[in-house]
Amino acid sequence: SSQNFSEEFAEAARQLKKEAPRIQFGKIDVTHQHDLRKEFNIREFPTVKFFVDGRREDATDCKGVRRASAFITWVKRRTGPSTLLINSTDQAEAIIHADDFAVIGFFKELHNDSVEVFCETARDVPEMPFGMTASEDVCANYGIQKNTLVVFKKGKPVHNEVLENGRQNKLDLTRLIKTFTLDLVTEYNLETSVKIFDVPVENHILLFTPTNSDTFSEIYENYKSAAVEFRGKIIFVLVNTNETRNGRVFEYFRIREVDVPAVRILNLTSDTKYKMPADEVTVENLKEFCQNYLNGKAKLHLTSEEIPEDWDKMPVKVLVGKNFNRIVF
């Protein structure tokens, strides 16, 4: 909630006042400041912007940060080094075990484009510690031979991403790393919905199915298998159709009892929906659907009510999706 957010923001301001008094925190109620709202193009609340050297025109947006600790890290990484330099395996182990997650960059040398992209990414992912090393001993200890980003979860490596100059950008790496804060498949509920929307991946695939059906475990395993391949590109969500509190999601996708199991892809930016053409939820069908979607080949899913029997009885005709084009055009 906004109240919670305000409290965390204030807590960050209190702590940073001691550590970095040059960083000032302020808050503005734009309901009374229309000029500022327009100048900074404020569309959603709360919005946090970071200004450096009084430059109004190139403020940095601070997105998806909810907790005081993450605010503090975010600000510190913008005003100082964004990653910790690792010179020994002991230092690496300390960072890897300090938190639930850690990201380590292993490099041949610390001056190339990949290092720059890695450091930029660290600025945008304040929820976890970032370290980097060019020590041959440390790289050898983890069996790393190329420039590689490794995500650790609870002390164990869960993802290796080979970094090649110019191949990855900050946004791709940010998306990839942040998806590890979600499970491979996240079951939709009130609590997880906030986490799902905080990860900056605009493509979501949803599997609608009752979790107590005979076929559930097989379908779920297929869904998880497909999820591995599209991590960082599409977020995989499970919606239990037996859970009455999920009603709004069904309404939005026009999913009825008879449809399940059903699979849809939603693009948050354009608010477009796509329906998996195949009925069977197999690994092959899921992968083909996701790949076609990413390649721009998936067909839009346009839902429509049935045409009412008396649609043209009155002077004002009743239009629905199915008769709209024919009558209007």
Query: For the segment 141-165, what is each residue's pLDDT rounded down to a tens digit?
Result: 999 999 999 999 999 999 999 999 8
Q: How many CA atoms lie within 13 A of 232 on its CB side?
A: 15
Domains of the chain: which residue ranges? 1-79, 84-179, 183-295, 303-328
CATH number assigned to the domain covering 84-179: 3.40.30.10
For residue 181, pLDDT beyond 80: yes
Query: For the segment 21-69, what is each residue's pLDDT rounded down to a tens digit?
Result: 889 999 998 888 889 999 999 888 889 999 999 899 989 999 888 889 9
**Which pLDDT does position 327 carry in this prediction?**
76
**Which pLDDT does position 322 carry in this prediction?**
65
Give me 6's structure tokens. 């305000």
Q: Which helix (H) or strand (E) covers residue 235, if one does?
A: strand 235-240
The yes-or-no answer to whether 84-179 and 183-295 have a common fold is yes
Q: Which residue has the tokens 């940010």?
A: 174
Separation CA 157–CA 162 (nearest Å): 14
Query: At the topology level of CATH, where does 183-295 sit?
Result: Glutaredoxin (3.40.30)
Separation CA 321–CA 301 (nearest Å): 12
Q: How many CA atoms lie within 13 A of 77 on its CB side?
A: 25
Separation CA 329–CA 310 (nearest Å): 20
| 1-79 is classed CATH 3.40.30.10 | yes
Separation CA 83–CA 131 (nearest Å): 5
* Nearest partner of 207 among 275, 267, 270, judged by Cα: 275
